[in-house]
Amino acid sequence: MTTQPIRFYQTGTFTVGNRLLPDSERSAQANMRRTNSLNSGHRACQGCGEALGARYAIDAAMQASGNRVIAVNATGCLEVFSTPYPETSWQIPWMHSLFGNASAVAAGVAAAMRIKNKKDVRVIAQGGDGGTTDIGFGCLSGMFERNDDVLYICYDNEAYMNTGVQRSSATPPAARTATTMAVGAHPGNVFGTGKNLPLIAMAHHIPYVATASVANLRDLEAKVTRAMSIRGSRYIHIHVPCPLGWGSQPADTIRIARLAVESGLFPLFEAEQGEVTGRYQLRRRVPVEEYLRLQRRFAHLFGSTPDAKTVAAIQAMADRNIRTFGLAVEAVV
């Protein structure tokens, strides 16, 4: 088949761009034989970033492994909306662990596969940010330290959504949740707390760490595919807007995810053995205000008494990310 040079933006569309690419470069979602791992009929809210991220991630993992994936799922929205017993939307071998031990259960499944000499069967553990950065953190760190052959995927919607939007250690500063200050001079989550799980994962020197976003699904698929080509512990942290918890319009999910990336608040990068090996550079840089204004959890920053100081502090966080990860186009020659 003859091919023609194509422009970057053409490949972002599944209807047109993929037909212009050689088979090997087409997205998993454009493949008619994709698994549809997380099938229709589940009960996620309209515009749920987590449902979208999980479908793309697991379909890409299935494609990369010749459909040999077992997934272990922590308690949380993804588990609850996909699998109201006795129904399930999963089309793959899938197991519900406890809230805090998905990585330990997955490590056990991987060990069982090794003992049974089924090394072609690959194991994925997945959960929300609460299940990952808080209650599951010890088990996850242990899995990294042992370098168990598991890909862990965290779907970060920045709070405990399944139980009614409580703060997690991944909730950003100033965001209002059901358990952060509702009133006062500085309502919302406090500054200076929380955890950056991708950086903590890198500190374990595991083979592969990446961040991804539903704003860039080709990049997400590529990172899952890369992770599946590696043995040992791997970690992917996916930013997934949650219309219910963030107070945003369901139709704005991708727009908001894109603004998080383009403002520098959610840097996209890859790291191997603790060293950053790739980053997504920002062709268009937007002020954080564009991202914050679309979400009611930040509405108190823009009301009748705007809180410019807090917005400036959030802007400073984005600017720091841009410097730290070299995201500005002019940063790399």
Ligand X SMILES: Cc1ncc(C[n+]2csc(CCOP(=O)(O)OP(=O)(O)O)c2C)c(N)n1
Helix axes 102-115, 137-146, angle to 10 degrees: 30
152 near ligand SF4 (CB under 6 A): no
Stretch that binds ligand X, among 28-36, 155-163, 175-183, 260-268 (CB under 6 A): 155-163
Which listed residue (124, 161, 238, 327) binds ligand SF4 by CB under 6 A? 161
**Nearest to ligand SF4 of 245, 264 (CB atom):** 245
Provide the residue count of the chain: 333
Distances, alpha carbon 44 to alpha carbons 80, 158, 234, 262, 287, in Å = 9, 17, 27, 26, 30
Establish if 139 lies at the interface with ligand X (CB under 6 A).
no
Q: How far is CA 207 from the centre of its chain?
A: 18
Q: How many residues line the site for ligand SF4 (CB under 6 A)?
A: 12
User: 65-87: b or e for each residue (b if 16 or more CB lie within 10 Å)?
Assistant: beebbbbbbbbbbbbbbbbeeee
Q: Candidates 14-22, 56-64, 236-244, 319-327 — which segment interacts with ligand SF4 by CB under 6 A?
A: 236-244
Are residues 268 and 280 in contact, defined by beta-carbon separation less than 8 angstroms? yes
Site for ligand X in 24-53 (CB under 6 A): 50
For residue 86, whether the previous peptide bond is cis, meaning omega lies within 30 degrees of 0, is yes
| Shortest distance in whole angstroms from residue 126 CB to ligand X | 10
CA 37 vs CA 42, 60, 95: distances in Å = 12, 9, 13
Site size for ligand X (CB under 6 A): 18
The answer to whether 131 contacts ligand SF4 (rule: CB under 6 A) is no
C-beta of 56 vs 160, nearer to ligand X: 160
By CB under 6 A, is residue 219 in contact with ligand X? no
d(CA 106, CA 148): 9
Question: Could you say which of ligand SF4, ligand X, none residue 160 binds, taking C-beta under 5 to 8 angstroms by partner kind?
Answer: ligand X
Query: 63: buried, middle or exposed (CB in 10 Å: 19+, 13-18, 0-12)?
Result: buried
Residue type, 69: V
Q: Are 272 and 208 contacting, i.e. CB atoms less than 8 angstroms apart?
A: yes
- Give whichever of 244 and 317 is closer to ligand SF4, judged by the CB atom: 244
- Binding mask of the shown chain, residues 73 to 102, with x at each position contacting ligand SF4 by CB under 6 A: ----x---x---------------------
Residue 157 interacts with ligand SF4 (CB under 6 A): yes or no = yes
Residue 96, CA distances (Å) to 83, 150, 155, 191, 284 in order: 9, 16, 16, 34, 41
Residue 106 binding ligand X, by CB under 6 A: no
Q: 282 contacts which partner out of ligand SF4, ligand X, none, CB within 5 to 8 A by kind?
A: none
Closest approach, Cβ 155 to ligand X, in A, equals 6
Candidate segments 5-13, 70-78, 203-211, 309-317, binder of ligand X by CB under 6 A: 70-78
When asked if residue 130 is in the footprint of ligand X (CB under 6 A), the reply is yes
What's the CA gap between 195 and 120, in Å, rounded? 34
Q: Interface residues with ligand X (CB under 6 A)?
A: 50, 75-78, 99-100, 127-131, 157, 160-163, 168
Residues contributing to the site for ligand SF4 (CB under 6 A) = 44-45, 48, 50, 77, 81, 157, 161, 242-245
